[in-house]
Chains A and B, each alone.
Chain A
Amino acid sequence: MTFDVADLQNSAPLLLLTVAGLVLMLLDAFSRSKLVGAPYQKKMPAETSEAYPLPVAGSRGYLMPVTVLLLLGILAVVAWLPGQIHGDHGVFMYRDMLVLDRFGLLVSGICIVGAILGVMTAPAFLRAHGLEMGEYYALVMFSLAGMVILVMAADLVTVFLGVEIMSLGVYVLAGMWRKSQRSAEAAMKYFLVGAFVSGLLLYGIALVYGSVGTTLLSEIRSRAPVFASRPLFYIGWMLIFVSFLFKVAAVPFHMWAPDTYDGAPTPVSGFMMTGVKAAAFAGLYRLFAVTLGDSQNALQAYTGWVHAAYGIAILTMTLGNLAALHQESIKRMLAYSSIAHAGYLLIGLIAMAVVGDSARGPLLFYLAAYTVTVVGAMGVVGWLSRDLRGGERLTLDDWAGMGQRHPAGALAMTIFLLSLGGFPPTAGFFGKFYLFRVALEKPSLLPLVLIGIANSLISVYYYLRVITAMYFRAPAPSSEPASEPLSSTALSVGVLIAALLVLGLGLMPEWLANLCAAAN
């Protein structure tokens, strides 16, 4: 009954996230004064266009800076840990339950950066809509802990726990907007689908364990050649595959995504579209590209998941983009765009299996670029869409003329949309460029890349539609009150940092690309 103390150091990001979550929870619980927005909760909205006053700043405003500082500290630890890894293989921890390697640390870092930017943009939005609560910060921390467990998992049991911890926190976050029926719907759909998916995942794990007799990923990898043709093994892995496709919202497992991303509070939607997706892709990478990958025999990765992923990637890109084409709501358009991006990311996953380890860098770069861009875009959506009565103005008509009304926000939004569409010089351009370039190394992926490029061209239409509305359309005369952008330093700074990162990665992509390529 001994315990390796070095494990504590190697799993420091995870432990620190948990402790930080506990601290934030206690800070929230033991803060004396009343929460902000409480007096407004009982007021009915004015039926006229009379202004609905912004709730005053509350006593829990300090939680946001504290959270950001804690996350920055943890990010520093994540940046320091790679130096502790000696050799090419990761360090196994807690009796092979977790593995510390550069890949896991990089994805953890991506999730944490996304969370930092999201947390900076959140409080202004939450306060403006009268739902500021201290639990938000603790839940973000715990969800992040779940993501870190998932990306560091070396055993199917920890994979399941990581998925559960990550998702449970996000279910609560999605439903925290108690006054909004759409938020309740979002949380309910996400939770029901999530519970169903947990069942699939657990069932798949049970079948794999039943056939192989172990849950250790490294063991399964070494036994995969023998077991690949056994029905239980195959069915088990397919169930696991489907459950992860649900989590990343790939077509046809995406039905929940538009309503959930659209209905949840905007900063939470940003967190779901980025952190959850990045961690789930890391899980897919570990489970499928690594455990079931076969470097000798490209398309013959065990259980043939690559063939399924091939079709799903095409479906996801195409349907996501086609559905996004005629969305009037910007938030919903971004939700469908997030589905389409899952398709591009699947190309990276397939390339991991087909092309080999050289595809890891592009996949990670894409995840990083996508995360920074979407968190920024959702930050701007939360920033600019609030109206005087506390509602959200999300349609293109509402955003017409935003370039004149709020030049800074409109400019940031333009940068993010261009990055999502893959225009140079933004991070999104290099994400797609690296991804498609590495996929082109194998002719069997050529159709996939061509479809990906065609889809990028389609997506340009709906991203540019928002930009033209913001700059070249006069606001439509409407009886509804116009949106009244929030004024918050933290929000502006968060969006500014995200925009600078998007542009910086677009102008100097090499350092991150090198970092990603080295993240074995």
Chain B
Amino acid sequence: MTGIASLMGSAATGLPSLLAQVAQAQRIPGKIDPVPWCPAWAFWVLAALTVAGALVTITRRNLIGAVMSLVATFFGLASIYALLSAHFLAAIQVLVYAGAIMVLFVFVVMVLNREEEEPWSLRSPVLKAFGTGAVVYLLVRIGELLFFARPPLPQRAGTPPPNFGSVSEIAEYFFTKFLFPFEAVSILLLIAVIGAVVLTRTVAKPTSVHDLPLDQQPKDPAADEGDSGAHAAGHGAGGH
């Protein structure tokens, strides 16, 4: 464990020097996109936001809180895409992920309506040892990357062409070279629509003995109490 502690210690001293290195690289003209108001620390701020959001997501007991911090992660990711000149991807990340998919997540949380409980934890000592080993390995590799990697940071391949990653540039690919895959995506979306309708169609009750759960009860009043919407929809389900 002392090895890890010393590694952590050196990481603590090493990180500022690394940041200084990055800042240094920033000032060399031509090496990094010369954007005066968007320095390298913007990347570190956004990366921190992304990782922090992800950490909060997996540690919250409150599911809604976890989902909301995932939004922060998505925004951080979108900004990083933008820094990488992937502008269309950044817009889609916000529109589809931070917008629509998060709504879906919230509904899943509310449909399932699980009691808040302790996050799932490893019980088996073997798994615990395995997890610890994985974390140690990760830390070692990160340390290696920070202090011993040669060259320490990959050099930029040069500034991208001015239109790189723009919406019309992406469109060029969508609608000419990859036209067929683009059209095929519509079939994919179509199947998703059918799936959404078929799989969420409410079914009143199991009808065959074979399919009943072992501890089957004809009716569970407690479950139906807060389920009036689903119940009402259940009556509609037979109608089509």
Q: A-side interface residues toward B, CB under 8 Å?
A: 1, 3, 18, 21-22, 25, 34-35, 38-45, 47, 52, 93-95, 97-98, 129-130, 133, 135, 138-139, 142, 145-146, 149, 157-158, 161, 164-165, 168-169, 171-172, 175-176, 178-182, 187, 389-392
- A18 and B187 contact, Cβ closer than 8 Å, known pairs A98-B180, A172-B195: yes
Chain B contacts of A181 at CB under 8 A?
206, 211, 213
Q: Give the top 10 A-B pairs by smallest Cβ distance, nearest first.
A: A391-B210, A94-B180, A390-B208, A172-B195, A178-B203, A97-B180, A180-B211, A38-B238, A42-B204, A168-B191
- Residue B199 interfacial (CB < 8 Å): yes
Interface contact B188-A172, CB-CB below 8 Å: no
Please report the C-alpha to C-alpha distance between residue A129 and residue B207 in the assembled complex, in whole angstroms.
9
Choose among A97, A129, A161, A390 the residue that contacts B185 (Cβ–Cβ < 8 A): A161
Chain A contacts of B201 at CB under 8 A?
178
Identify 4 new A-B residue pairs, CB closer than 8 A, beyond the known A135-B197, A175-B198, A187-B199.
A41-B238, A45-B207, A180-B206, A389-B208
Interface contact B238-A158, CB-CB below 8 Å: no
Interface contact B180-A158, CB-CB below 8 Å: yes
Interface contact B211-A176, CB-CB below 8 Å: no
Please report the C-alpha to C-alpha distance between residue A169 and residue B192 in the assembled complex, in whole angstroms.
8
Specify the chain B residue showing the minimal Cβ separation from A18.
B187
Interface contact B188-A157, CB-CB below 8 Å: no
Please report the C-alpha to C-alpha distance between residue A98 and residue B180 in the assembled complex, in whole angstroms.
9
Interface contact A44-B195, CB-CB below 8 Å: no
Instruction: Tell me the residues in window 174-229 of chain B with beta carbons closer than 8 Å to chain A beta carbons.
Output: 175-181, 184-185, 187-188, 190-192, 194-195, 197-199, 201, 203-213, 218
Choose among B187, B192, B206 the residue that contacts A146 (Cβ–Cβ < 8 A): B187
Q: List 17 A-B contacts (CB under 8 A).
A: A1-B176, A22-B190, A42-B204, A44-B205, A45-B208, A45-B209, A45-B212, A95-B180, A97-B178, A130-B207, A135-B194, A149-B184, A168-B195, A172-B191, A182-B211, A390-B210, A391-B210
- Residue B154 interfacial (CB < 8 Å): no
- Residue B150 interfacial (CB < 8 Å): no
Interface contact B192-A168, CB-CB below 8 Å: yes
Interface contact A392-B195, CB-CB below 8 Å: no
Interface contact A389-B209, CB-CB below 8 Å: yes
Q: Which of B199, B206, B211 has its CB near the most chain A CB atoms (within 10 A)?
A: B211
Interface contact A25-B194, CB-CB below 8 Å: yes
- Residue B240 interfacial (CB < 8 Å): yes
Specify the chain B residue showing the minimal Cβ separation from A183.
B211
Please report the C-alpha to C-alpha distance between residue A389 and residue B240 in the assembled complex, in whole angstroms.
24
Choose among A18, A43, A182 the residue that contacts B207 (Cβ–Cβ < 8 A): A43
Choose among B191, B205, B209, B218 the residue that contacts A169 (Cβ–Cβ < 8 A): B191
Choose among B178, B180, B208 the residue that contacts A52 (Cβ–Cβ < 8 A): B208
Q: Which of B180, B205, B212 has its CB near the most chain A CB atoms (within 10 A)?
A: B180
- Residue B158 interfacial (CB < 8 Å): no
Chain B contacts of A1 at CB under 8 A?
175-176
Interface contact A135-B198, CB-CB below 8 Å: yes
Chain B contacts of A179 at CB under 8 A?
203, 205-208, 211
Chain A contacts of B187 at CB under 8 A?
18, 21, 142, 145-146, 165
Interface contact B195-A164, CB-CB below 8 Å: no
Interface contact A94-B179, CB-CB below 8 Å: yes
Assign chain B's interface to a size class: 35 or more
Q: How far is the CB of A354 from chain B (nearest CB, A)?
A: 33
Q: B-side interface residues toward A, CB under 8 Å?
A: 175-181, 184-185, 187-188, 190-192, 194-195, 197-199, 201, 203-213, 218, 237-240
Chain A contacts of B180 at CB under 8 A?
93-95, 97-98, 158
Chain B contacts of A158 at CB under 8 A?
180-181, 184
Please report the C-alpha to C-alpha distance between residue A164 and residue B206 in the assembled complex, in whole angstroms.
31
Please report the C-alpha to C-alpha distance between residue A1 and residue B172 in the assembled complex, in whole angstroms.
10
Q: How far is the CB of B180 from chain A (nearest CB, A)?
A: 4
Chain A contacts of B191 at CB under 8 A?
139, 142, 165, 168-169, 172
Chain B contacts of A187 at CB under 8 A?
199
Interface contact A41-B204, CB-CB below 8 Å: yes
Interface contact A129-B239, CB-CB below 8 Å: no
Chain B contacts of A97 at CB under 8 A?
178, 180-181
Interface contact A44-B207, CB-CB below 8 Å: yes
Q: How far is the CB of A393 from chain B (nearest CB, A)?
A: 9
Chain B contacts of A139 at CB under 8 A?
191, 194
Interface contact B203-A161, CB-CB below 8 Å: no
Specify the chain A residue showing the minimal Cβ separation from B176.
A1
Choose among B197, B205, B209 the residue that contacts A391 (Cβ–Cβ < 8 A): B209
Q: Which of A21, A146, A180 has its CB near the most chain B CB atoms (within 10 A)?
A: A180
Q: How far is the CB of B84 from chain A (nearest CB, A)?
A: 15
Interface contact A391-B192, CB-CB below 8 Å: no
- A161 and B188 contact, Cβ closer than 8 Å, known pairs A41-B238, A181-B211: yes
Chain A contacts of B204 at CB under 8 A?
41-42
Q: How far is the CB of A210 from chain B (nearest CB, A)?
A: 13
Please report the C-alpha to C-alpha distance between residue A93 and residue B180 in the assembled complex, in whole angstroms.
9
- A133 and B198 contact, Cβ closer than 8 Å, known pairs A161-B184, A389-B208: yes
Specify the chain B residue showing the minimal Cβ separation from A392.
B210
Please report the C-alpha to C-alpha distance between residue A168 and residue B184 in the assembled complex, in whole angstroms.
13
Chain B contacts of A21 at CB under 8 A?
187, 190
Q: How far is the CB of A277 from chain B (nearest CB, A)?
A: 19
Q: Which of A40, A41, A43, A142 has its CB near the most chain B CB atoms (within 10 A)?
A: A41
Specify the chain B residue showing the minimal Cβ separation from A42.
B204
Choose among B177, B190, B199, B203 the residue that contacts A142 (Cβ–Cβ < 8 A): B190
Interface contact B188-A176, CB-CB below 8 Å: no
Choose among B184, B190, B240 the residue that contacts A34 (Cβ–Cβ < 8 A): B240
Interface contact B181-A42, CB-CB below 8 Å: no
Interface contact A172-B205, CB-CB below 8 Å: no
Q: How far is the CB of B111 from chain A (nearest CB, A)?
A: 15
- A176 and B178 contact, Cβ closer than 8 Å, known pairs A45-B207, A161-B185, A165-B184: no
Chain A contacts of B188 at CB under 8 A?
161, 164-165, 168
Q: How far is the CB of A281 from chain B (nearest CB, A)?
A: 21
Specify the chain B residue showing the minimal Cβ separation from A390.
B208
- A41 and B194 contact, Cβ closer than 8 Å, known pairs A94-B179, A95-B180: no
Please report the C-alpha to C-alpha distance between residue A274 and residue B197 in the assembled complex, in whole angstroms.
26
Chain A contacts of B211 at CB under 8 A?
179-182, 391
Please report the C-alpha to C-alpha distance between residue A62 and residue B177 in the assembled complex, in whole angstroms.
41
Specify the chain B residue showing the minimal Cβ separation from A166.
B191
Please report the C-alpha to C-alpha distance between residue A180 and residue B199 in the assembled complex, in whole angstroms.
12
